[in-house]
Structure 1
Amino acid sequence: MKLRKMWLNVNGANRMFICNPEKDSLSTVLRRMGLTGTKVGCGTGVCGSCSIVLDGKLIRSCTKKMKTVKEYSKVITIEGIGTPNNLHPIQVAFMNCGAVQCGFCTPGFIVSSYALLLENNNPTREEVRDWFQKHRNVCRCTGYVQIVNAVMDAAKVLRGEASIEDITVPMPKDNEYYGKPLVRPTSLSKVCGVADYGDDQELKMPEESLHVAIVQPKVAHHAKILKIDTSAAEKMPGVVKIITSKELLEAGGTNIMAEAQFHERTTVMVPSRKILCDEKIYRYGDVVALAVAKTKEQARAAAAEVKVEIEKLPEYLNYLDAVMPDSIRVHEDTPNIFSMQPVLKGVGLEEALNVNDVIDNSAYSTSGSFYSSRQPHLSIEGTTVQAYFDEEDNLAIQCKSQGVYSTIGRIGNSVGVPKDKIRIIMNPTGASFGWSTNAGDVCLAAAAAVVTKMPVALSLTYEEHQHFSGKRCPCHSNGRVACDENGKITAAEFEFGMDHGAYSWGGDDIMTKPARFAFFPYNIPNVAGLVRIANTNHNFGTAYRSYGSPQAYTLSEALMDMLAEKAGIDPFEFRYRNIAREGETNINSYPFRQYPMEEMMNIMKPIYEKAVEEAKKYDTPEKRRGVGLSWGGFNVTEGGTDSASVAIELNSDNTFTKYDTYQELGQGGDIGSLMLTLEALKPLKVTPEQIKLVQNDTKLCPDSGMSGASRTHYMSGKATIIAAEKLMNAMRKEDGTYRTYDEMVAEGIETKHFGKYQNTSVEGLCRLDPNTGIGDPTPAFTYCLNLAEVEVDTATGKTTVIRFTCVDDVGKVGNIAAVNGQAYGGISHSIGFALSENYDDVVKHSNMLGAGVPYIKDVPDVINVIHYERPDEIGPFGSSGASEAFQSAGHVAVLNAISNACGVRIYEMPATKEKVKAGLDIIAAGGKVEPPKKYFLGSDLYDELENIKANPVKFGGDDFFIPLGNDANAERFF
């Protein structure tokens, strides 16, 4: 190895260092210097998180080899732009415009913005967007709108047209914080590059820490393991241990990840997933061994030397292949279709499932078969975990987690450590969108720590992460819907076949979502439906924002447009006639919890009418314009068994500490908790500076539950109110004033109070009946009405979303900047889902670019979000939930707009330019774009429903269900 001593001028100072010029990248050298504000996401130069300025030019440093860097080159990193005590206007603008969410991409964007404004301090919005597109800066959280806002504000300051005060959010002087755009508490560290994410923590671990690399064979989707040969790897330099299942079992682990049953119809009776595969490979991303060494490079070199001999087995890479009658079982102990949920409403219950007769006898009907793709989450930060034994001999794991307590439950007994001795600590986190609900990565790091008895750090390459982490379940569906001569829907029938990939955990829960959200929020009097979920040999399905509902809307919102066209009714008017009004029921035979639909459509109507007129005005044979609508929405909380706990403590300086597990993944767990606490303690006239947040450490914080199911603000908010009332009651004197900390101590009054809220207090909640689909599981919904305006290039088939409008009901907004950020971000994911995102080809889709991540020019700059703030009747301070509704159905608005623009209906997502062009060519030749032949989803719909009716299962009730956020002590399989 030939090393080189070099000098660089870094942030104005000459710095000397040693590097391997052939191997080291500039980002590696900078991070070794301690300049960890330079983040590495993709590692292949396609995300821009590593952006720095080199000799006056913006570059992506992760692919810049040191052999190409000249001595004494001038480098500017985020640390050289501004510090917490001396912020640059760009940093101030990012904080105050809500442009910081998870924050992992933020340093790269700020450096990129800095370089832009050095060249042009008076850019247009489109010039800003062109710059970020050219330099491949990706943000997966914000939808880019607030980032462009921040650059425009900073430019005003740099030109002398505004002051720092002018671009700073003013602090309310009336103690009325709730709903205002208060700056996130964690944003300061993020804009300065000093927030230490997982890989930053790894660099700062003690010297004796070991590094872990995975052995991920990537040779087959399905194979029998004949031999794992570790002999060569064990002799590699720096290797401490090569760990297979054998070593983990010898250390006392079971090697089997914990699972919970969610549904009475599940056929899965034993957990299906091992930490380290030892008998079979079930999917391309499976891990068979771990290489533990003194350095990361040594661990990866050793992992590459582990030899795996296999015998290939039949591979079922989609639902349709896995459910064919002659398919072998993916897991021997369960059929490939491992759970199903029927939905029966109206005539289907009393008259032998004759919904099909109602459809046949209606004035108009339409049908279609649809496919929604395996959407990858594509967070910029991938998989990185640290594990060690702490001062109390707890197995402490620092990680990314949607729920720190539920992560303990999912580890279970797999590594041989009692659950009460496992401590989960959430690192500053570069987003997740749901993939971190699964604890597979945590189990790998835990296994290495248990076997070696040493502190360890696990960090996957982005390609390894892409293959290892779960994805949104792909889904095939068939459906029919009918209406009378007045355009009122008479009946609907549908079937969904969801592909849950190689492992079943959570599949019997996610499949209840299409059974709730198909044709939401319409009044459909007669329904016959069935949702099936199956194992395949592709990547496993896991949570993703809107969890199971986008698959439902892919079918139902397309059919709504198709039926409107069949009946000769405008698609807006058709929806208006069929939205549920007060007292009308959803497809699960219960009233909607709220009825904001008509008012939301009234708000959207003039916007829709203007969009239609503009589409006609600008439509040309070369550039076709179209408008598309979709209704969407999602549930709030995990149901009747959901609960949340928090604590609030009065401190000796008369400030307050709030303890909770409002997991911050970019959605605003920090600002959400702060807003709730300010409002709950409002009688004390508390200011933001008086509240300290202690979050997401199971040793220090009570269990507030999962950050998912649009539940946390609602559930944690209710718990915060209880804790605050207890504390204020304890502080309150007889004259109505409040005791100080010293007075509380002097009188022996407790200064720390806990609040626990449970949904059992909500009347009428009941799970879906597994035999009929009748039920009312959650206390609230969120609602979104989407409008997409698109342009289709007829020469290429490329679709561009010109504008997007969303009217939502999320109850009272807690922090306007945070909710807007969730809206913009969810909409950007929806657009990507519609047009480009996919993880189907494990070679092509192995990085962000290949998997179709939307860059800034793939998302419109004009995203109008209109909040219909109807205070929720039972939510905390009138709030409901947010985030997930914004990604539920926006993709179908885009697909409907493509059909409106050029007549091409895309039945199988994503709507790539090749698919649209193929449809245009069919139309040009005088043909018609037809839906695919009806999918075979396991058996005839009505035969299966008759079979379920004849063979009902016992309805277990709420005691059967282990909620996602509170299963730390689950013993279902152990």
Structure 2
Amino acid sequence: MLKKNLKINGVLKTIVVSPNTTLADVLRKQLLLTGTKVGCGKGECGACNVILNGKVAKACIVRMKRVENESEIITIEGIGSPDNLHPVQLGWMIHGAAQCGFCTPGFIVSAKALLDENNNPTREEVRDWFQKTRNVCRCTGYKPLVDAVITASKLIRGEITKEDVWYKLPEGVSILGTDYVRPSACAKVTGTWDFGADLGVTLPDDTLHIKLVQAQVSHANIISIDTGEAEKMPGVYKVLTYKDVKGNNRINGLAFPSNLGDGLDRPILCDEKVFQFGDAIAMVLADTPTHAEEACRKVKVELEELPAYMSAPEAMTEDAIEIHPGTPNIYYTTNVVKGEDTDKVFEECEYVVEDDFYVGRQPHLPIEPDVGFAFFGDDGKLNIHSKSVALHFHALMIADGIGLSPDKIAIVQNPTGGTFGYKFSPTIEALLAVAAMATNKPVYLEFSMYQQITYTGKRSPFFINVKMGADKDGNIKALESDWSVDHGPYSEFGDLLTMRGSQFIGAGYNIDNIRGEGRTVCTNHAWGSAFRGYGSPQSLFSSEVLIDELAEKIGMDPLEFRYKNVYREGSTTPSGCKPDIICFPEMIEKMRPIYNEAKEKAKEKNLKSEDKKYGTGVSLLIYGSGLDGADSSEAWAELIPNGVTIGNSWEDHGQGADMGTLAIAHESLKPIGIKPDDIKLVMNDMNLTPNSGPAGGSRSNVLTGNATKVACENLLKAMKKDDGTYRTYSEMIEENISVKHDGKWTAACTACDVETGQGNPFPCYMYGLLLAEVEVDIQTGKVNVEKLTIISDVGTIVNKLVVDGQIYGGLAQGIGLALSEDFEDLKKHTTLTKCGIPNIKDVTDNIELIYMETERPYGPYGASGAGEMPLSAPHAAIINAIYNACGVRITKLPALPEKVKAGLSK
């Protein structure tokens, strides 16, 4: 052990530590300075950055034996407080730079170190600095972070004041569409927003730490599990296997009626088989994480390895065995039947193109790994705290599996460091429940980044063939599609995802005649879970690239070809319903001069450059707001002595559920003159909040926004007097009128028919048009996205900072999907870097956002969703731009430099 005297945030501390303990563990677990976060644990993400003796250091990899005695350390807690914000923290708030907020402390610490050295940096110097300090953000697209540092530098130099930049709300004015700062921002920038692992250090002393024994193969029969040696290890309380699960030991995947499986295919703890790498086989519960990990290595598992089918084509071969015996590997099929028989129409088409496409297993890569804890409350309810973004769904999905009725389960969402959809599926909730039920003690489980990457769900790859035909005038007349969805070994939501192909392949264009067939395929690669866009990025990639191919064959400019064929009055979607609004013609008209200028610029550059080529590409971006068909949400509003409390389960990935709830509630309560500061939010706790449905499919702003609006309106009705004025809280109590009122809103939609794909699945849609400008190095094949220009129509903007952030972040993830991100190789793709996560220099700083605000008939105050649209097809625009630059058409993502180089060689 070592004794160290350290000055931490200006205060002298004497500590006794193990030489190999990390600085991050000392700060977080011994000194309870939990503002310093641990993400990757490998020095790749910068969430743990502190200032050590004047230099930025990665606390997760600095061992205490390397920290000199009397070192000075500054953490986020030493930079500013809620009452005395540092200019960098202020800059972060006013630019909406803290979305989920998990990476925020590390960025702010790094930014302070930069400004201590250079208080007048250029944007490129800020970007170079964050690249050097390896700060990674998955939410924001980086541009708002650079904006925040530039604003902070002006504050430090005294060129501007806080009053100049802080959003000021005039009395009685709406906050809809403004830069009003989200309620959670201050806590996030000061490191006081407690994520799951931060809450973990506050749990009682008798909390048991869970570590998992996980499969190291992708497909096997389990012969035996021997826990005897592990149970004798120091600190071990219990080792659990499937025999300790009190229920049926299955997650309920909520299968469609037409699904050939029953949806009960994912074990909580593997009993008969291993279905994928990382499957949980046993849980060790011990007094410390270290003791639990050591005991895990003593659990002996005997396996009979089976053929592993690592892609849909492999699992679809005639000699492939059934991964789930009794259920075919192709377990769900859906069709599109719209208009006339396409074989006949294609014969009449002047121009026909056909191509094969692949969009792969994109990893979510949140900087916060999965984490949670569980305990029994005094009322006997099992409380599960996790990153769930589908609280009530998950309670239903795990109830039978753990052997507890749903009304005895309360899932609570911890402040969450990004999910991007993977937490639409339960991951650790059932494991926590089983452990708590087996021990009747509080239990805690925290994943490493390796576990996060290898175990949790991924975007499901689509293998797609699309054929499209147009007449002699360039009007698209027919579309045929065939798609196979590699959904991994577990079926949950695979049928719903496969339906997305029928809804979005060819979306955006008036195509009267469509035939298609899609299928969900069980494989042994990573299980498929929701990921931002959910089926649209796979679907639109195929049709948006093929649109360019068809335009080239006709001899038309790709933007003008789109203009000729996009939705207009009288058009119908691939699902056969009318678009909720018509906006694409106007979008293209707005984009046309920008596009023509970009083409000329690329042409001029190409005349001067020999080793690099430049090009432009466009794509339509579309997504629906909703799950599919009838969809409901609930909220409540309660008058309190000093304001109004709003309750809902609008789960927050970091997208801004708190701001959405506040803005819609404030707008709805304007008749009583309430101020935003007088609205209290109670969110995402099944003990307190109603079933608002999951935060997926960009549904929350529409569904839960409307439910919140209705709850407020119902409260106002109760408060209203005959003379038109409103009762006070005391008057309500005196007159015995309820001060708490529920609100519910249901989308008047119909699910798409599985045989035809026809229906009216979403109450609102989101629309975008993207222009990508790229540079291709013809020596190496490396692609650099130089500029992105997007025109978005998401209806009424509820909060400008939040929507801007969603657009920036979605586009950045689109760059990753296009050029670098993958989870295919189980030995290679196991870190953030190797999975291809974009760093700040991989994402252009030149992103222009242009908005149209066409009010949606069914959105609250005319708003639609926003978050999924910007990731629905930016990769298509980038791929189209690569072709425009150098003639290489990439149809199977990602477009790694070696793929582009190979194309150039041909």
| TM-score (ref. length: structure 1) | 0.92
Query: Which position in structure 1 is the counterpart of 2:297?
Result: 304
1:105-153 Cα deviation digits (max 9, x unpaired): 0000000100111111100001101111111101100001111100000
Shift of 1:410: 1.4
Aligned ranges for residues 821-860 of structure 1 at < 5 Å? 821-860=805-844
Shift of 1:270: 4.9
Query: Which position in structure 1 is the counterpart of 2:264?
Result: 271
Task: Please give the secondary structure, in 1, of the residue aligned with 2:482.
Answer: strand
Look up the equivalent residue of 1:822 and give its one-letter code: Q
Look up the equivalent residue of 1:481 and give its one-letter code: M
Query: Which position in structure 1 is the counterpart of 2:638?
Result: 649
Find 1:439's aligned residue among 414, 422, 426: 426
Q: Do the aligned residues in 2 keep the contact of 1:175 with 1:685 (CA within 8 Å)? A: no
Measure, in 2, the Cα distance between the counterparts of 1:747 and 1:686: 22
Q: Do the aligned residues in 1 keep the contact of 2:420 with 2:531 (CA within 8 Å)? A: yes
Q: Do the aligned residues in 2 keep the contact of 1:374 with 1:473 (CA within 8 Å)? A: yes
Aligned ranges for residues 546-945 of structure 1 at < 5 Å? 546-619=533-606, 620-653=609-642, 655-759=643-747, 762=748, 765-922=749-906
Query: Which position in structure 2 is the counterpart of 1:255?
Result: 249
Measure, in 2, the Cα distance between the counterparts of 1:416 and 1:125: 56
Measure, in 1, the Cα distance between the counterparts of 2:210 and 2:486: 31
Query: Which position in structure 2 is the counterpart of 1:326?
Result: 319
Measure, in 1, the Cα distance between the counterparts of 2:533 and 2:120: 39
Task: Please give the secondary structure, in 2, of the residue aligned with 1:412.
Answer: helix
1:527-548 Cα deviation digits (max 9, x unpaired): 1111111000001001011111
Query: Which position in structure 2 is the counterpart of 1:962?
Result: none
Q: Do the aligned residues in 1 keep the contact of 2:630 with 2:750 (CA within 8 Å)? A: no
Look up the equivalent residue of 1:665 and give its one-letter code: H
Q: Do the aligned residues in 1 keep the contact of 2:628 with 2:752 (CA within 8 Å)? A: no
Task: Please give the secondary structure, in 2, of the residue aligned with 1:513.
Answer: helix
Measure, in 2, the Cα distance between the counterparts of 1:591 and 1:675: 30
1:319-345 Cα deviation digits (max 9, x unpaired): 111101111111112111111111112
Measure, in 2, the Cα distance between the counterparts of 1:138 and 1:552: 29
Look up the equivalent residue of 2:622 and give its one-letter code: G
Q: Which moved more, 1:315-324 or 1:769-778?
A: 769-778
Query: CA, structure 1 residues 900+270, in 2 after alignment: closer, same or farther (shift >3 Å)?
Result: closer
Measure, in 1, the Cα distance between the counterparts of 2:164 and 2:124: 23
Query: Which position in structure 2 is the counterpart of 1:164?
Result: 162
Task: Please give the secondary structure, in 2, of the residue aligned with 1:511.
Answer: helix
Find 2:462's aligned residue among 475, 493, 500: 475
Shift of 1:357: 3.6
Q: Do the aligned residues in 1 keep the contact of 2:254 with 2:263 (CA within 8 Å)? A: no
Task: Please give the secondary structure, in 2, of the residue aligned with 1:634.
Answer: strand
Task: Please give the secondary structure, in 1, of the residue aligned with 2:507.
Answer: coil
Task: Please give the secondary structure, in 1, of the residue aligned with 2:562.
Answer: helix
Q: Do the aligned residues in 2 keep the contact of 1:275 with 1:440 (CA within 8 Å)? A: no
Measure, in 2, the Cα distance between the counterparts of 1:462 and 1:718: 37
Look up the equivalent residue of 1:253 and give its one-letter code: G
Aligned ranges for residues 24-39 of structure 1 at < 5 Å? 24-32=21-29, 33-39=31-37
Aligned residues: CA RMSD:
1.1
Task: Please give the secondary structure, in 2, of the residue aligned with 1:305.
Answer: coil
Q: 2:446 aligned with 1:459, yes or no?
A: yes
Query: Which position in structure 2 is the counterpart of 1:190?
Result: 188
Q: Percent identity?
A: 45
Look up the equivalent residue of 1:116 and give its one-letter code: L
Measure, in 2, the Cα distance between the counterparts of 1:285 and 1:172: 54
Look up the equivalent residue of 2:727 and give its one-letter code: R
Find 1:496's aligned residue among 476, 479, 483: 483
Task: Please give the secondary structure, in 2, of the residue aligned with 1:842.
Answer: coil
Q: Do the aligned residues in 1 keep the contact of 2:818 with 2:879 (CA within 8 Å)? A: yes
Shift of 1:174: 4.0
Measure, in 2, the Cα distance between the counterparts of 1:563 and 1:621: 29
1:263-289 Cα deviation digits (max 9, x unpaired): x43101251010000211111020100
1:613-666 Cα deviation digits (max 9, x unpaired): 11112222211101011112111122442111111111123x110011111110
Task: Please give the secondary structure, in 2, of the residue aligned with 1:112.
Answer: helix
Q: 2:241 aligned with 1:244, yes or no?
A: yes
Task: Please give the secondary structure, in 2, of the residue aligned with 1:529.
Answer: strand
Query: Which position in structure 2 is the counterpart of 1:485?
Result: 472
Shift of 1:920: 0.8
Aligned ranges for residues 14-93 of structure 1 at < 5 Å? 14-21=12-19, 23-32=20-29, 33-93=31-91
Shift of 1:403: 1.6
Task: Please give the secondary structure, in 2, of the residue aligned with 1:242.
Answer: strand
Find 1:13's aligned residue among 5, 11, 14: 11
Measure, in 1, the Cα distance between the counterparts of 2:801 and 2:535: 27
Look up the equivalent residue of 1:805 and give its one-letter code: T
Measure, in 2, the Cα distance between the counterparts of 1:80 and 1:320: 55
Look up the equivalent residue of 1:641 and give its one-letter code: A
Shift of 1:253: 2.3
Shift of 1:588: 2.3
Look up the equivalent residue of 1:313 and give its one-letter code: L
Find 1:211's aligned residue among 202, 209, 218: 209
Look up the equivalent residue of 2:299 and give its one-letter code: V
Structure 2: gaps (5+ residues): none
Look up the equivalent residue of 1:222 and give its one-letter code: H
Find 2:122's aligned residue among 121, 124, 143: 124
Query: Which position in structure 2 is the counterpart of 1:963?
Result: none
Measure, in 1, the Cα distance between the counterparts of 2:784 and 2:360: 20
Measure, in 2, the Cα distance between the counterparts of 1:437 and 1:718: 21
Structure 1: gaps (5+ residues): 349-354, 923-974
Shift of 1:734: 1.9
Q: Which moved more, 1:140-149 or 1:711-720?
A: 711-720
Task: Please give the secondary structure, in 2, of the residue aligned with 1:117.
Answer: helix
Q: Do the aligned residues in 1 keep the contact of 2:625 with 2:699 (CA within 8 Å)? A: yes
Shift of 1:167: 2.3
Shift of 1:206: 0.8
Query: Which position in structure 1 is the counterpart of 2:226?
Result: 229
Shift of 1:851: 0.4
1:677-721 Cα deviation digits (max 9, x unpaired): 001101111111110000000011111111111111111121122
Measure, in 2, the Cα distance between the counterparts of 1:894 and 1:7: 53
Shift of 1:919: 0.8
Q: Do the aligned residues in 2 keep the contact of 1:387 with 1:398 (CA within 8 Å)? A: yes
